[in-house]
């Protein structure tokens, strides 16, 4: 079965792919330098801090002397990431010794930020201008609701609790890799990549959408460096505070409206002014680049008899479980389902793999079972893998049988010819039977006719 892979690449890979001039433009903002620093592996952060006030090249050998023997692989990862992001400039001296020097633009602006701090381009609006702002609890509920509604539109728009007008920018991202629609009369369907996307954790999903959104905007003529800068800058705003829309450029206003679809910001309108309120999804953007280990509250309990209990009130959770399990009944705060051979076969046909299903169950294990080793019973995970291997055990290939060869020599020559062309499937030397791939039928027929 051909597999489509939706890879949630690190957002910093997109930053690293920017041309040198755009990176320098990005690094000209002290807040962006801080956001980039947050995203680095721990050892890379240490190297940046150590070189921050050193204005001369530093020998690569000196770096290696700082690292213990068992940290060699982490050292290579840290150096590679710093070079990819052009935070370190690598040079080769006259004595062919490798040296590293910190990017001057990055260095100067990070120094400024550490010493003097900095002010964001916009300040929160005074409370006497804004109407009643939502509490942090209300804002969190709004963000979760928007994000889940957004994902429900992927699975089945009719299941969404409310109709949301998802922007054309976001719909283009879906059409690109997550859903497909031949024409407007047919309902949109999830692609294999779309099924895989739904089983990712929230951080991976968010950064996949953001990365595709930037790529899509770039195709429309928007400078990717400006967009990345705005998104990272947004992470330094205060959750729950109101920021005036008039402080944004035209492109930033469009971006903010698109981000509202995802639940990253909430939009409000006053008598004269309009403003946006960042949620935790927005203010954690730069932190989530590296802090993907933060565990969310799980809700699934898997039993050895293949039954699953999902303690959740979310319709999205129920719909995700339907991707690979048979939902038996649903209570206000509990979904009871079962993993069956038929439900898994349907999942495998849609491009979901056994490892993705098992990983999803492990990542979303209820706190009561999350600390168990393993959190998913071994007999269940083993059986999921076995049912997948059943599908891959037999492969149907169009074939053609050749027999009644005029002599042993002709048969041997035909076998060699089919083998050399990669078309031999089976041979019986006693009965002089040979089976080749169907695509080789004409070639074999012409080859055998030469001996008549």
Q: What is the pLDDT of residue 289?
A: 47
Report if pTM > 0.75.
Answer: no
Burial group, residue 410, by CB count within 10 angstroms (0-12, 13-18, 19+): middle
Q: What is the pLDDT of residues 275-318, one digit of tens each?
A: 999 998 888 776 644 454 444 678 999 999 999 999 998 888 99
Residue 128 falls inside a structural domain? no
Whether the bond into 374 is cis, omega within 30 of 0: yes
Q: What is the pLDDT of residues 53-100, one digit of tens each?
A: 998 888 888 888 888 888 888 898 899 989 989 999 988 877 788 899
Number of domains in the chain: 4
Q: Are residues 87 and 219 in the same domain?
A: no
CA dihedral 18, 23, 25, 26 (to 10 degrees): 100
Helix, strand, coil: what percent of the chain each, to 5? Answer: 50, 15, 35
* Helical spans, DSSP H, in 220-353: 224-234, 250-262, 280-283, 285-288, 315-321, 341-349
Q: Are residues 271 and 371 in the same domain?
A: no
Residue 70 falls inside a structural domain? yes
76 near 85, Cβ under 8 Å? no
| Mean pLDDT across 343-364 | 90
Q: Are residues 374 and 419 in the same domain?
A: no
Q: Are residues 436 and 353 in the same domain?
A: no
Q: Are residues 241 and 342 in the same domain?
A: no
Q: Is the pLDDT of residue 33 over 50?
A: yes
Residue 6 falls inside a structural domain? no
Q: What is the pLDDT of residue 171?
A: 67
Q: What is the pLDDT of residue 158?
A: 52
Q: What is the pLDDT of residue 7?
A: 46
374 near 365, Cβ under 8 Å? no
Burial group, residue 239, by CB count within 10 angstroms (0-12, 13-18, 19+): middle
Q: What is the pLDDT of residue 181?
A: 65
Residue 294 falls inside a structural domain? no
Q: What is the pLDDT of residue 322?
A: 92
Q: Are residues 152 and 283 in the same domain?
A: yes
Q: Are residues 70 and 143 in the same domain?
A: no
Q: Are residues 151 and 278 in the same domain?
A: yes
The residue among 351, 372, 393 that closes a domain is 393
Least confident of 145-149, 240-244, 288-292, 440-444: 288-292
| Mean pLDDT across 125-133 | 82
* CATH assignment at residue 34: 1.10.10
| Mean pLDDT across 34-59 | 89
The residue among 288, 315, 346 that closes a domain is 288
Length of the chain equals: 452
- What's the mean per-residue pLDDT of the chain? 84
Q: Are residues 412 and 442 in the same domain?
A: yes
| Mean pLDDT across 398-413 | 88
Residue 123 falls inside a structural domain? no
162 near 302, Cβ under 8 Å? no
Q: What is the pLDDT of residue 292?
A: 46
* ∠ Cα 254 270 160 (to 5°): 55
Q: Are residues 364 and 327 in the same domain?
A: yes
Least confident of 126-140, 184-198, 262-276, 329-343: 184-198
Q: How many CA atoms are closer than 13 Å to the CA of 155, on its beta-carbon side?
A: 22
Q: Are residues 140 and 211 in the same domain?
A: yes
The residue among 244, 261, 288 that closes a domain is 288
Q: What is the pLDDT of residues 202-229, one digit of tens each?
A: 777 888 888 888 888 877 788 888 888 8
* ∠ Cα 85 193 191 (to 5°): 145
Residue 57 falls inside a structural domain? yes
Q: How many CA atoms are closer than 13 Å to the CA of 14, on its beta-carbon side?
A: 22
Q: Is the pLDDT of residue 16 over 90?
A: no
Q: Are residues 22 and 159 in the same domain?
A: no
308 near 337, Cβ under 8 Å? yes
Domain interval for residue 363: 300-393
| Mean pLDDT across 109-135 | 82
Q: What is the pLDDT of residue 11?
A: 64
Q: What is the DSSP letter of 189?
A: E
Residue 185 falls inside a structural domain? yes
Residue 129 falls inside a structural domain? no
């Amino acid at each position: 079965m051909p597999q489509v892979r939706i890879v949630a690449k690190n957002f910093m890979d997109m930053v690293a792919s920017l041309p040198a001039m755009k990176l320098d433009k990005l690094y000209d903002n002290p807040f962006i330098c801080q956001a980039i620093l947050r995203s680095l592996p721990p050892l890379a952060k240490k190297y940046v801090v150590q070189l921050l006030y050193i204005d001369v090249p530093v020998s690569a050998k000196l770096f290696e002397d700082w690292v213990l023997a068992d940290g060699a692989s982490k050292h290579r990862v840290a150096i590679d990431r710093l070079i990819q992001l052009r935070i370190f400039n690598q040079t080769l001296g006259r004595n062919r010794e490798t040296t590293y020097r910190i990017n001057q633009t990055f260095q100067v602006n990070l120094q400024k930020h550490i010493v003097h701090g900095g002010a964001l381009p916009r300040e929160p609006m005074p409370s006497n201008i804004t109407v009643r702002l939502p509490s942090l609890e209300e804002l969190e509920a709004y963000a979760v609701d928007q994000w889940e509604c957004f994902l429900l539109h992927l699975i089945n728009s009719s299941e969404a609790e409310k109709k949301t007008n998802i922007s054309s920018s976001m719909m283009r991202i879906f059409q690109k890799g997550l859903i497909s629609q031949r024409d407007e009369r047919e309902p949109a369907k999830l692609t294999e990549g779309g099924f895989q996307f739904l089983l990712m954790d929230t951080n991976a999903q968010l950064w996949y959408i953001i990365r595709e959104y930037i790529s899509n905007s770039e195709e429309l003529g928007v400078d990717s460096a400006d967009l990345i800068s705005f998104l990272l800058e947004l992470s330094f705003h205060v959750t729950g505070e109101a920021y005036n829309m008039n402080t944004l450029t035209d492109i930033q206003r469009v971006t903010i409206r698109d981000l509202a679809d995802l639940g990253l910001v909430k939009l409000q309108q006053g008598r004269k002014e309009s403003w946006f309120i960042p949620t935790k999804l927005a203010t954690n953007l730069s932190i989530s680049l590296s802090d993907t280990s933060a565990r969310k509250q799980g809700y699934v309990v898997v039993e050895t008899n293949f039954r699953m209990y999902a303690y959740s009130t979310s319709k999205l959770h129920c719909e995700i479980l339907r991707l690979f399990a048979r939902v038996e009944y649903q209570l206000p705060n509990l979904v009871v389902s079962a993993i069956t051979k038929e439900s898994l076969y349907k999942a495998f046909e849609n491009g979901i793999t056994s490892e993705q299903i098992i990983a999803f169950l492990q990542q979303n294990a209820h706190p009561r079972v999350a600390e168990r080793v393993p959190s998913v019973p071994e007999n269940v995970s083993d059986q999921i893998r076995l049912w997948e291997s059943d599908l891959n055990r037999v492969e149907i290939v169009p074939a053609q049988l050749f027999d009644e060869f005029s002599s042993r020599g002709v048969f041997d020559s035909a076998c060699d010819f089919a083998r050399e062309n990669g078309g031999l499937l089976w041979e019986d030397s006693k009965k002089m039977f040979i089976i080749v791939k169907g695509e080789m039928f004409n070639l074999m027929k012409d080859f055998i006719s030469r001996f008549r």
